[in-house]
A and B are shown apart, each in its own frame.
Chain A
C-alpha cells in the first residue's frame, strides 16, 4: 500500500503480461465464432479465413449472422465492413502512440482492434504502449485463430466458455483498461457515461454493433466542448 496521496497506480505497468493474458482470455471466444460460422453454413475454411484476414470479432459475427439469416450477401458484407469503422477511429488515436512506418505499419494495422487499443491506451509511456500493443496483438491473433479452427471443427461442444465466466472477461477488461482515463477527468467520465448510455439505449433499436459506433458521438460532443483552433 502507498503511504503517499499520489494518484499513481500501486503496481508498475506490465504491458506484455497484461496483453498476453487478455489475448488468451478473450481469444478463446473464437471457439464460439468458429462454431457459429459453421452452423450458419460457412465452411471451416471460410471461418478461418475470416479470423485470419478480417480479424475483428464484431464484423465477423455480423457476416456470419447475415449468412445464417439468408439475406443479401452484399448487404451483409456492407454491414460487416461498417462495423469495422470503429477500428479506423482507434487507429486515429493509436498512430501517435505506437509510431509505426512503412511495412511495420501495414502489419500493425491488422492489429488495430478493441483489445489492443485498450491495452495500449492504458500504458503510462510510449515504450510500454508499444510493447502492450504488439504483445496483445500477437497473443489474441494466435488464440483467436486457433480457437476459430477448434470451434469450426466442433470443439465448442466440449464445454461452454460461460461456465468459466469467460463472457465477463471482455467487459471487465475494457472497464479495467479505461479506468485510468475515467479517473483522469470529469470530461472523460462524462464521455464514457454518455457512450455507455447511447449504446445501451439504442441496442434494442439497431442491428448489433451499430450502437457501439454511435457511442462515438459522445466523444464528438466532448471534443466540441474544448476551444477550437490550432495548438502545438
Chain B
C-alpha cells in the first residue's frame, strides 16, 4: 500500500473517531450547567465563524469578492424579512450569480 493510501485511510479513521467520540460522550457530563452551556454555544460560535471565513477568505488569505459578499448581504436582508430557508439560499446564490454574469468579479 502506498504512503498516500495510508494517509487517506488514517485521515478517514481519525475523522470518524472524532465524530463518534462527540456523540458518545456520557450525557452526565452535560449535567454540569457550564458544560451544557458550552455544548449549546459551540455550534453557534463555529457556524458563525464558518460563515465569515467562507464569505471573506480563500485558504489563509482574506479576500474581498464583491459578488460573494453581496450574496451574503442579500441573505441577511432576506432573513430580516423573515424569508424561509430556501428563499434565503436562492436569493443569496442568485444575487452572486447575477452580479458575476454582469461582470462583477
Q: Which residues of A contact B (CB under 8 A)?
A: 9-11, 14, 17-18, 21-22, 25, 41-42, 46, 49-50, 53-56, 59-60, 63, 66-67, 73-74, 76-77, 80-81, 84-96, 100, 105-106, 108-110, 112-114, 117-118, 121-122, 162-179, 181-182, 187-188, 191-196, 198-200, 203-208, 211-213, 215-220, 222-224, 226-232
9 extra interface residue pairs, beta carbon distance < 8 Å, beyond A87-B22, A175-B79: A55-B15, A108-B23, A114-B50, A122-B85, A175-B72, A178-B44, A219-B42, A223-B34, A231-B36
Of the candidates A113, A170, A203, which one forms a contact with B62 in the assembled complex, judged by CB atoms under 8 Å apart?
A: A203
Contact A212-B49, Cβ < 8 Å, known A91-B22, A168-B68, A170-B54: yes
Contact A67-B92, Cβ < 8 Å, known A121-B43, A206-B60: no
Number of interface residues of B (CB under 8 A): 78
Give A46 to B13 CA distance when docked, in angstroms: 14
- Is B43's CB under 8 angstroms from A109's CB? no
- Is B97's CB under 8 angstroms from A109's CB? no
Tell me what chain A mostly uses at the interface: helix, strand, loop, or mixed: helix
B47 to chain A, nearest CB (A): 5
Of the candidates B27, B34, B47, which one forms a contact with A226 in the assembled complex, judged by CB atoms under 8 Å apart?
A: B34
A128 to chain B, nearest CB (A): 13
A-B contact pairs, 30 of them (CB 8 A): A9-B82, A18-B86, A49-B8, A53-B13, A67-B4, A77-B11, A86-B46, A88-B19, A88-B21, A89-B46, A91-B20, A92-B22, A92-B25, A112-B22, A165-B67, A165-B71, A167-B54, A168-B96, A171-B68, A176-B85, A194-B45, A196-B48, A199-B52, A199-B53, A200-B53, A200-B62, A203-B61, A205-B60, A212-B46, A229-B33
